[in-house]
Structure 1
Amino acid sequence: MKNAYVKRVWEYVQAKNANEPEYLQAVQEVLTTLEPVVDQMPELEPNAILERMVEPERVIMFRVPWMDDAGNYHVNRGYRVQFNSAIGPYKGGLRFSKEVNLSVLKFLGFEQVLKNSLTTLPMGGGKGGSDFDPHGKSDKEVMRFCQSFMTELYRHIGADVDVPAGDKNVGGREIGYMFGQYKRIRDEYTGVFTGKGLTFGGSLIRTEATGYGLIYFAQEMLKKVGDNFKGKVCVVSGSGNVATYAAQKLIQLGAKVVTLSDSNGYIYDADGITQEKLDWVKELKGVRRGRISEYAKKFPSSKYFEGKKVWEVKCDCAFPCATQNELLGSDAKTLLSNGVKLVAEGANMPSDLDAVNAFLDAKILYAPGKASNAGGVATSGLEMSQNSERLSWSSEEVDEKLHSIMVNIHNNAYDTAIKFGATDGKFVNYVAGANIAGFVKVATAMIAQGLV
């Protein structure tokens, strides 16, 4: 970092958040790309924009007591990080997972601010969740936990204040239970959640949105270099909604998807994962909550690799869609040595800094998650619009709007990178372009609103 203001803020962040590695990683990745715009916007420093950008507006932490089916009491910790509301009400998912802590949620909230800004929709950024793990719990246990969680959180959210959504391990079941409890306590029926069921205000295409949006973004990257997905061998990590619907869209565009994974290992299908096989995976993971290893038993032409990662498979395109820091610098080197030409992130910060730098140094097509996985929150914004107007759009209408938003996000990141010199010959740095484009909109709004 050469800019004195950026460097000073980075030192401040390190001192204040020394025990929060995920958050420090996210901030460092953004600050290192903002120097060109900081040099051109002298008004940022006297308005303390960077200092305010790296501090959440509000952090809420609370206990969540609940009872299991045997009558035993348990206590988990709940959070909501309301990071920035300069351009709209806080918007971001709730994550239920053992690894949830303040560092993880602050990194997610910080990324969400820029991601939501890129969508062009009026949404601020936030994130929340709990260290509760719904795996192995009965529906009644999950319901009791969600009701307890919402009994505290309800007082901090609202359709014009903070609109949560689902995230890791928080799907339609959990959203339904939380929305029901909110409605019971507040005695009002408002669009306080997105990702709701279709029978009570949910939007078509929301389940598919992040995966579809990821591929729409990557498709635009390929178009810029005169290419497309037809015949491309693609590796996808994960096996949840993002991964399966990214795979589905790739299949539709003529690509050959050969991997899916979960936390235990990955499957490799040399014949390619067909739509029929993908539908089976959706039932496995979404209904039976099984493990991806069962795929190899169901489809003998495939192989399962316990404790391994998909990045060792030779491919043209790679899509990390599972979790943060799943793709390390060593994995990036393997992908590059095997000839990967495009990497687009479907998860939040799935590549560590060494991997990011390796992709940028190699000058391949590389899309950061805050741009390429914005389709989910974009469609959540569309759900908010439908709820406000008491409308329900068709799947074709929503998909068309989603496609348009992702094209615009791509073009904004691409054009901004060129404007601020984040290029090298034909290479365009989408990381810098996305960070700067998202930041400028938020920073300009913060200056206009004064010291708040």
Structure 2
Amino acid sequence: MLDSSLQATLDTVLARNPGEPEFHQAVREVFDSLAVVQKRHPEYNDAAILTRLCEPERQIIFRVPWVDDKGQVQVNRGFRVEFNSALGPYKGGLRFRGNVNLGIVKFLGFEQIFKNSLTGLPIGGGKGGSDFDPAGKSDGEVMRFCQSFMTELHRHIGEHTDVPAGDIGVGAREIGYLFGQYKRLTNRYEAGVLTGKGLTWGGSLVRTEATGYGAALFAQEMLGARGTSIEGRKAIVSGSGNVAIYAIEKVHQLGGTAITASDSSGYVVDEDGIDLELLKQIKEVERGRISEYADRRGGKARFVKDGSVWDVPGDIALPCATQNELNARDAKTLLENGVAAVSEGANMPSTPDAVELFREAGIAFGPGKAANAGGVATSALEMQQNASRDTWSFEYTEQRLTEIMRNIHQNTLETAEEFGRPGDYVLGANVAGFRKVANAMIAFGVI
């Protein structure tokens, strides 16, 4: 239960941001954890830290007109929410998807504040995107959209101000078009203004793999704290995009077997382990549907159109698709099937009631702001390389990523113990991320 002061602050935040359920969900989850902090550290309340944390420093909404291949003018809406820069320039991805709206961008940006703080790197929190969906669009249409989007966005970003990256619907193709337009408009080769770039023009090795690798590494750390590991275990993975593919890859490298992948059409089960090369060919090269995986696996895999991927028995769950994909029914099924760990590769993929069931059951549950921080951490490493005009080897960059994920795990675990909730990674991640940002905000005064 929240005390009267926290409840009043929460009520005000919800009332000032109507019709934004995802943002409300993210704020509530953080407030629930911070009740224990406010009792020990009333200075945070006196400085109205939470009120300021929940109000973005800047919200930018703009029109994005572009011309399709038929010569018809199309209009989409662009967003960039620059949430908090207490620790460094705003940092967070761009999401291009038909359901993107201000509430979703704000939820993602709010989560990004704490996630970026947990990395230990000097980056603030932000997020952006558009209701444009690249699926089914030609390269020319995607290019024209990206150029129009960047024509407005370039006024608000820079390597010391705001550094966007990719997210759902924004991969190497889109980042290339966005960076090209930024370079054209500014007459500067400012490599650090975007991350997720191609390897031949300022990108970093391991960035493609980082979020998925990080989620699997976090699961490994959680299991290690309990005296076990991923080796020999079955992993249930949702999604089949970048995060899911490389979570599967790292599970296999750690000696486990990932047996599922999914998309909006259904999921596949491959008891021998997902064939990564085939999955990459279908999803990354051909941009096909997950059903094609089963068709081309020679009878070794089955495609399931209805139901939930979480119905498949396994030892580890890695939700890597999208927000609120795993509900209370799914959580009960996973627990009944003996799941030992859940590590969130996506942003807020578990609903609040599902999270509560995992926490009550006492399994190892890694919330997204900790478990999927590997992506933004490696983006910050890309910024370091850009700033020093340097490139690092795959091995060295992966070593840095592994160290960062290990440190995040240790920090969240120790913070949970400090506040009397040993093993509660949700509380540990929220409190550890919050304290670092709050202390910086207090140091800067009321701004």
Indicate whether the TM-score tops 0.5.
Answer: yes
Q: Deviations over 1:98-139 (max 9, x none)?
A: 110011000000000000000000000000000000000000
> Aligned to 1:206, what secondary structure does the other structure show?
coil
| Residue 218 (structure 1) shift | 1.1
> Aligned to 1:322, what secondary structure does the other structure show?
coil
2:306 equivalent in structure 1: 307
Q: Could you tell me which of 266, 277, 280 is aligned with 2:278?
A: 280
1:447 equivalent in structure 2: 442
Aligned length: 445
Residue 357 (structure 2) pairs with residue 358 (structure 1): yes
Alignment of 1:43-122 (within 5 A): 43-122=43-122
Q: Deviations over 1:139-198 (max 9, x none)?
A: 010000000000000000000000000000100000000000000000001110000001
Q: Deviations over 1:301-341 (max 9, x none)?
A: 21101133210011111000000000011110111111111
1:251 equivalent in structure 2: 252
| Residue 279 (structure 1) shift | 1.2
2:182 equivalent in structure 1: 182
> Aligned to 2:128, what secondary structure does the other structure show?
strand
1:409 equivalent in structure 2: 408
Aligned mates of 1:204, 1:396 — CA distance in 2? 9
| Residue 5 (structure 1) shift | 2.0
Please tell me whether the aligned partners of residues 2 and 32 of structure 2 are also in contact (alpha carbons under 8 angstroms). Answer: no
| Equivalent position amino acid for 1:150 in 2 | M
Q: Deviations over 1:6-42 (max 9, x none)?
A: 1111111221123100000000011001111111111
| Equivalent position amino acid for 2:390 in 1 | L
Residue 396 (structure 2) pairs with residue 397 (structure 1): yes
| Residue 271 (structure 1) shift | 2.1
Aligned mates of 2:436, 2:300 — CA distance in 1? 50
Please tell me whether the aligned partners of residues 195 and 379 of structure 2 are also in contact (alpha carbons under 8 angstroms). Answer: yes
Aligned mates of 2:438, 2:110 — CA distance in 1? 13
2:22 equivalent in structure 1: 22
| Equivalent position amino acid for 2:433 in 1 | G
Please tell me whether the aligned partners of residues 346 and 372 of structure 2 are also in contact (alpha carbons under 8 angstroms). Answer: yes
| Residue 4 (structure 1) shift | 2.2
2:381 equivalent in structure 1: 382
Please tell me whether the aligned partners of residues 328 and 357 of structure 2 are also in contact (alpha carbons under 8 angstroms). Answer: yes
> Aligned to 1:44, what secondary structure does the other structure show?
helix
Please tell me whether the aligned partners of residues 324 and 348 of structure 2 are also in contact (alpha carbons under 8 angstroms). Answer: yes
Aligned mates of 1:30, 1:307 — CA distance in 2? 34
2:289 equivalent in structure 1: 291
Aligned mates of 1:419, 1:347 — CA distance in 2? 27
Q: Could you tell me which of 427, 430, 433 is aligned with 1:435?
A: 430
Alignment of 1:143-162 (within 5 A): 143-162=143-162
Aligned mates of 1:337, 1:17 — CA distance in 2? 38
> Aligned to 2:183, what secondary structure does the other structure show?
helix
**TM-score normalised by length of structure 2:** 0.99
Aligned mates of 2:113, 2:231 — CA distance in 1? 34
| Equivalent position amino acid for 2:211 in 1 | T
| Equivalent position amino acid for 1:222 in 2 | L
> Aligned to 1:70, what secondary structure does the other structure show?
coil
Aligned mates of 2:184, 2:361 — CA distance in 1? 54
> Aligned to 1:71, what secondary structure does the other structure show?
coil
Aligned mates of 1:95, 1:20 — CA distance in 2? 17
Alignment of 1:203-352 (within 5 A): 203-273=204-274, 277-299=275-297, 300-352=299-351
Please tell me whether the aligned partners of residues 117 and 123 of structure 2 are also in contact (alpha carbons under 8 angstroms). Answer: yes
| Residue 2 (structure 1) shift | 2.9
| Residue 214 (structure 1) shift | 1.0
Aligned mates of 1:412, 1:127 — CA distance in 2? 24
Aligned mates of 1:401, 1:252 — CA distance in 2? 17
Please tell me whether the aligned partners of residues 164 and 193 of structure 2 are also in contact (alpha carbons under 8 angstroms). Answer: yes
> Aligned to 2:227, what secondary structure does the other structure show?
coil
1:9 equivalent in structure 2: 9
> Aligned to 1:45, what secondary structure does the other structure show?
helix
Identify unmatched segments of 5+ residues in structure 1: none
**TM-score normalised by length of structure 1:** 0.98
Aligned mates of 1:124, 1:257 — CA distance in 2? 34
Q: Deviations over 1:334-362 (max 9, x none)?
A: 11111111111000000000100010011
> Aligned to 1:153, what secondary structure does the other structure show?
helix
Aligned mates of 1:307, 1:291 — CA distance in 2? 15
Q: Deviations over 1:247-268 (max 9, x none)?
A: 0111111111110000110001
> Aligned to 1:81, what secondary structure does the other structure show?
strand
Aligned mates of 2:362, 2:347 — CA distance in 1? 21
